[in-house]
Amino acid sequence: MTATVVSAARRAHCLIFFRGTAGIVPPYHQPDATILHRAMNLNQVTLPAIDIAQSVDFYTRLGFTQIVDSAHYARFECPVGDSTFSLHKEERTHGPTGVTVYFECEDLDALCEQLLQRGFEFLELPTDQDWLWREARIEDPSGNLICLYRAGRNRRHPPWRIESG
């Protein structure tokens, strides 16, 4: 390739050399900040479930809509927005992972009161945190830690947010 062609290819695409041959990769494969900002949106999280039926009951009582049902897998839509999450059958959990799944709630206190009336047991009732969120914590039947919270503007724009230049 001539220098002009290589220069143009680098501007529009990413040039790749593999085993002595050159190829051009579309721009969505290049590590360009503008591409990366458009490339990713969290679609879902999959949690392990020892007993799928028990976990499905837990999450439907929590207010999620089940959209996939099988013996080893269940998927849910969140009541607000377009996020989903799923459960996958496991024989056992692999010990504490340190992972917490967060579900934001418009009226956290009212939701927690309803869940208490439905028999949910909380590890922590709604509590104001130093990071300006109000959080409550529960565990699902497989021991996955769930945080129900309300952050409002502070979820994405806390006073200490790093502003990009």
The domain of 120 spans 44-155
Same domain, 29 and 54: no
Does a structural domain hold residue 165?
Answer: no
pTM of the model: 0.70
The CATH number for 54's domain is: 3.10.180.10
Asked whether residue 164 is assigned to any structural domain, the reply reads no
Give the contacts of 144 (CB within 8 A, at least 6 positions apart).
47, 48, 93, 99, 101
**Per-residue model confidence as pLDDT tens digits over 34-86:** 555 556 677 788 999 999 999 999 999 999 999 999 999 999 999 988 889 99
CA distance 125 to 40: 33
- 102-154 tens-digit pLDDT: 999 999 999 999 999 999 999 999 999 999 999 999 999 988 999 999 999 99
Does residue 34 sit in the same domain as residue 50? no
Residues 51, 124, single domain; the answer is: yes
